[in-house]
Structure 1
Amino acid sequence: MTLLSRVSGMLQSRVVAHYLGAGPAADAFFVAYRIPNLLRRFTAEGTMTSAFLPTLNEVETGEGDAAARQLTARFLGTLGLGLALLSLIAIPAMGVLTGLQMLGRLAPAGAGLGEQLRALGWILAHPRLAPPAWTLTTVLAQIMFPYLTLVSLTAGLAAVLNLRGRFALPASVSTFWNLTFILVTWAGLEAGPRGWRVPEAAALVMAGAALAGGLVQLAVLWPGFRALGYGVRPGLHLKDPGVRRALRRMAPGLLGTGIAPINALISTALASQLAVGAQTVLFNANMMGEMVLGVFAASIATVSLPVMSRLVEAGDLQGLRRALAEALRGTAVLAIPGSVGMAVLAQPIIALIFQTGRFNAQAVAWTAATLGFQAVGLLFIATGRITAQCLYALKDYRRPAYAALLSMVVNIALSLALMGPLGTGGMALANGLASIAGLVYMTAGLRPRLPALPWREVGGGWVSMGAASAVMGLLAWVGAGQLGLSGPYRGLAGTSLRLFPLIAACALVYGALLLLFRVPEGTALLSRIRRRLGR
């Protein structure tokens, strides 16, 4: 289901590229869209679930099922009302946040930071005289900001369903969001007035489509959530001890998980110093990286947190060690070849998804070059997410927070050093390299908590998977040259008929090498495929 959501996400990205291209309106849309989607990591899947699920497990174990249901209703009610109040405060002040993300567009080229901040101050004092780019970005952000409340409640419902072993339905909500976005955008721009197809107007239609998708996501999960006997009680239930305990655990997590959106917002602001379109290119390259991370790392992280939490509650540290090793290897077995393949075939992949309408060949080449750098750090980002889940299960919320802070500092320093010579590619590379620093710090925190870290199991798997991926990457490179995929875009059908068979051949070679190297995950995957086929 997560894979399906990523595929539908690529279709959604193609729709955005078709109507907005990689110009000022696209930059405005992606800057505005980042705000609720990055802030949700403070209040949704990362921080909230990692604090809420262990607390819910404790209450259910110690006080029974009825107390757990009451905690769920009160906690989600508190979260929803708190975020609604936040929206009332944030929407009027949105111009400050959008201005900080586009400082490089508010002052003349070559202006220093001080001059850019003074330009922002003047714009905030004279909004009617502000540049159109700032005005459009601010309006888009104001329209989409309530999505933060909707997606956070959706994440809360999904966490409860995951705890009860219901993984497919929560994993499908992104698909429903993508399909809603596509349908609303298509209806507005194809059936609506022709003037709506102007990029600035089209961006406004897409902002409404994003909000509609948030409503559909919540509606999709609500029946399943209610069928399990759970509910939501709106209000600020701060006197409830379980609610207070979960919120206290969220506090360090707000720093840890929240560093990621802060980091991304800083990167967006730095990208405003580059040419117009840089923010769009970085967003699209990051989205492609998240496709690999989402299908493999996020899926396994989602499933592993409840499992690890139960093992910790049972005092089974050996079981926790095995679960950690399985999660890390299970992530790497597909993340490593996914990263290699995406880097080698970046040009035809980006062209297939994005080259349409206003997104031209130059924008494709720019995005593909950035994606190659983005792929470098995906394995380490994925490993860091799994390691953080293990620490959360152990109720250690501080170390992931400090690791995220360390990664942010390293990322900013590397971005400033690399964006000059490498542009958006340097910023993408900095993000991956910075994740290594945070991973090392978190791993050091696990050593005294577990009997022994699974170095041999994980490291040995990485070597075998890396060797198989290297052979696969060579095949992809040779095949792309022979099939003409490295040259000019051959259209949707022409590229698909060449690219997808090549990807399938690479996958078969990689799978065969896993079996040859006796990698357990390869054998397990083959057995699962045989069972699915009834053999």
Structure 2
Amino acid sequence: MLRSAGVVGALTLLSRITGMLQSRVVAYYLGAGPAADAFLVAFRIPNLLRRFTAEGTMTSAFLPTVGEVEGSRGEEAAKEMVARFLGTLALVLAGLCAVAIPAMGLLAGLQVMGRLAPGAGWGQQAAVLWEILRGLRPGPEEFLLTTTLARIMFPYLALVSVTAGLSAVLNLKGRFGLPASVSTFWNLVFIGFTLACLSLGPRAWRGPEQAALVMAVAVLAGGVVQLFLLWPAFRGLGYGVSWGLHLKDPGVRTALKRMAPGLLGTGIHPINVLISTTLASQLAVGAQAVLFNSNMMGEMVLGVFAASVATVSLPAMSRLVEAGDAPGLKASLASALRGTAVLAIPGAVGMAVLARPIIALIFQTGRYSARDVEWTATTLAFQAVGILFVATGRITAQCLYALKDYRRPAYAALLGMAVNIVLSFVLMRPLGTGGIALANGLASMAGLGFMAGGLRRRMPSLPVREVAGGWLPMALASGLMGLLAWEGGRLLGLGSFHGLLGTSARLFPLIALCALAYFALLLLFRVPEAASVAGLVKRKLGRKT
């Protein structure tokens, strides 16, 4: 399982690197001003729903159902069920787009309420939004731009959801590489389309508002490329799509029923992020862009490590549950949690310590100023607090889904959402965007604790000793590594920006040194995951020699 996760993680890392380039392009043309807030808020609407209809909830409900149908009725029945499910999903999403696009003023308005009547209370802001929607008063420019961008980008939800369905089938058949690469192609298409239009097009397109419109079209172009990239491999395995509403198919009904409670379960983190975006509209202009960028950096760590392990762990744990192998399930869960933490813990520590140079390297360009960099770096340090808990929650939810428990993650999501709202209100006043980021992490802790309680009832025993025995030395090694990063950053003058090349020449060698020190400490502490990595490197080097 971890070997497959390594393949996914490597390709996801490539995706995150190209994603940083994509973010740099956005920062160059939009900065952290009103246009950036409008674009990132509008882009978040389909991306939030994607977690529900795509790789999160849909995959968690879809894969176990396909496995059950294949085990009980054969491969051909499973292929027919896949075709009907994807056809039903596509048609439902097309209908959702038809309804949501005209109503996008309401969805966008809820995200920018603080800009509609600055300084007013929530009730007055809601009243102003209602008057704007009824046409009784004109909307602010940022609201109108956000609404327009959201309408352009919303069909991306349907494209990426069908793409996720194709990816799930390929993952079920052990094809992890190609599905993990599609986001890289999305980033490259976005970058190429945006630069081509803004470099070769009329100069009038280069203003922040006009550039945001070009980027909205680039989002759709990337979604089309993702879908067509996977289609040949999907068809090559003998699968297809049967367009229509196939609600009478028992497999389709089962998968949809399982998706219903999972809408909250898998979406706990993005729901909290959506609430945070709304709350950030009460802060200064640029707060939403800053939160989006810091969250994106947190997702880089989560995507490379937690999401990679979660992607391959669900099929593996589902097969163990179907086989009635309780000891194997426990071992698989422990392996997934330790395999995630071995890189998530030092990733969070290093990102918090070196937040300033990392953010400057990616975002300090064009309209993204040094002040914006400092603001984002401070927020990122708070964001790093919750990374391990979010990652652990994703793996725990996958185990519950493998056990066919879809209610517990949903209830955990409701608990986490309530905690997030309360803590965000309390912490945003003294800490600003940093307080909102910290509230996200603490809310994930609450949801994780609730899911762990449910998991204890479903399994003979939890791998507490196995997991804690790995987390403690990982945390100690990460702490020592953090001290090295802090001192190294001070000696290399990374508190200041030295340009793209100058900062890179200082930052990347320091990160490499910290990584070597961390793994050396893990080997000293006899952590099995480090020994496995060392053995793999020796074997690779032995083959080359």
Does the alignment reach a TM-score above 0.5?
Answer: yes
Q: 2:421 aligns to what SS in structure 1?
A: helix
1:41: Cα distance to partner?
A: 1.2
Write the deviation string for residues 40-78 of structure 1: whole angstroms up to 9, x where unpaired.
111111110110100000000000000000000000000
- Partner Cα separation in structure 2 for residue 347 and residue 384 of structure 1: 28
Counterpart-to-counterpart distance in 1, 2:215 and 2:268 = 27
* In the alignment, structure 1 residue 500 sits paired with structure 2 residue 496: no
2:102 to 49, 73, 92: 92
Within the alignment, does 1:520 sit opposite 2:528 as a pair? yes
Q: Which amino acid aligns with 1:194?
A: R
Choose which of 407, 428, 431 in structure 1 pairs with 2:437: 428
Q: Tell whether 2:111 aligns with 1:101.
A: yes
Shift of 1:218: 0.5
2:266–2:394 Cα contact (<8 Å) kept: no
User: Which secondary structure state, in structure 2, belongs to the residue aligned with residue 138 of structure 1?
Assistant: helix
Partner SS, residue 101 of structure 2:
helix
2:204 aligned with 1:195: yes
SS at match of 2:55: coil
Could you tell me which residue of structure 2 aligns to residue 350 of structure 1?
359
Quote the Cα distance in structure 1 between the aligned partners of 2:144 and 2:541.
55
**Which letter does structure 2 place at the counterpart of 1:502?**
L
1:229-244 alignment runs, 5 A limit: 229-244=238-253
- In the alignment, is residue 205 of structure 1 matched against residue 214 of structure 2? yes
1:370 equivalent to 2:410? Answer no
Q: Which residue of 2 aligns with 1:41?
A: 51
Q: Compute the displacement of 1:367 (Å).
A: 0.1
Quote the residue 1:112 is aligned against. Answer: 121
1:436-451 alignment, distance < 5 Å: 436-451=445-460
Structure 1 residue runs of 5 or longer lacking an equivalent are none
**Comparing 443-452 with 82-91, which one deviates more in the overlay?**
443-452
Identical pairs, percent = 73
Relative to structure 2, which stretch is displaced further, 382-391 or 251-260?
Answer: 251-260
Which string of whole-angstrom CA distances, capped at 9 and with x for unpartnered residues, describes residues 300-333 of structure 1? 0000000000000000011000000000000000
Q: Aligned letter for 2:37? A: D
- Correspondence 1:529 to 2:529: no
Offset at residue 531 of structure 1 (A) = 2.5
Larger displacement relative to structure 2 (264-273 or 175-184): 264-273
What secondary structure does 2:102 align onto?
Answer: helix
CA deviation after TM superposition for structure 1 residue 534, in Å: 3.4
Give distance in 1, aligned partners of 2:542 and 2:154: 48
Give the 3 Å change call, closer, same or farther, for CA 146–356 of structure 1 in structure 2. same
Question: CA offset at residue 128 of structure 1?
Answer: 7.7
Distance (Å, rounded) in 2 between the aligned partners of 1:42 and 1:171: 19
Pairing 1:173-184 to 2, within 5 Å after superposition: 173-184=182-193
Give me the CA root mean square deviation: 0.9
**Letter aligned with residue 89 of structure 1:** V
SS at match of 1:149: helix
Superposition pairs of residues 154-165 of structure 1, within 5 angstroms: 154-165=163-174
Residue correspondences, number? 533
**Residue 296 (structure 2) pairs with residue 250 (structure 1):** no
Write the distance in 2 (CA, Å) between the matches of 1:464 and 1:39: 38
Amino acid corresponding to residue 5 of structure 1 in structure 2: S
Deviation (angstroms), 1:245? 0.8
Residue equivalent to 1:185: 194
Q: Is the 8 A contact 2:301 2:344 kept in 1?
A: yes
User: How far off its partner does 1:127 sit?
Assistant: 7.7
Q: Paired residue for 2:314?
A: 305
- 1:510 equivalent to 2:518? Answer yes
Distance in structure 2 (CA, Å) of the matches to 1:77 and 1:123: 37
Q: 1:417 aligns with which of 413, 419, 426?
A: 426
Provide the rounded CA distance (Å) in 1 between the counterparts of 2:270 and 2:151: 18
Q: Which runs of 5+ in 2 are unaligned?
A: 1-10
Is residue 472 of structure 2 the alignment partner of residue 470 of structure 1? no
Change (3 A) 1:471 1:485: same
Q: What residue identity is the alignment partner of 1:27?
A: D
Q: Deviations over 1:205-256 (max 9, x none)?
A: 0000001000011111111111111001110001111101111111111232
What residue is the counterpart of 2:14 in the other structure? 4
Pairing of 1:452-467 with structure 2 (within 5 A): 452-467=461-476
Specify the SS of the correspondent of 1:165: coil
For residues 255-270 of structure 1, the aligned pairs below 5 Å read 255-270=264-279
Deviation, structure 1 residue 110: 1.8
Q: What is the distance in 2 between the residues matched to 1:48 and 1:357?
A: 39
Give the one of 72, 90, 104 matched to 1:62.
Answer: 72
Residues 448-457 or 96-105, more deviating: 448-457
1:122 and 2:131 are equivalent in the alignment: yes
TM-score, with normalisation over the residues of structure 2? 0.97
| 2:272–2:440 CA contact under 8 A, matched in 1 | no
Residue 485 of structure 1: SS of its match in structure 2?
Answer: coil
Shift of 1:130: 1.4
Among candidates 87, 104, 123, match of residue 77 of structure 1 = 87
> How far has the Cα of 1:263 moved from its partner?
2.5
Query: How many angstroms apart in 2 are the aligned matches of 1:509 and 1:415?
Result: 36
Cα distance in 2 for residues equivalent to 1:58 and 1:122: 51
Provide TM-score, normalisation by structure 1.
0.99
Contact 2:185–2:225 (8 Å) recurs in 1: yes
CA distance in 2 between partners of 1:127 and 1:313 (Å): 59
What letter matches 2:36 in structure 1? A
Q: State the alpha-carbon separation in 2 of the partners of residues 25 and 533 from structure 1.
A: 50
2:310 maps to amino acid: A
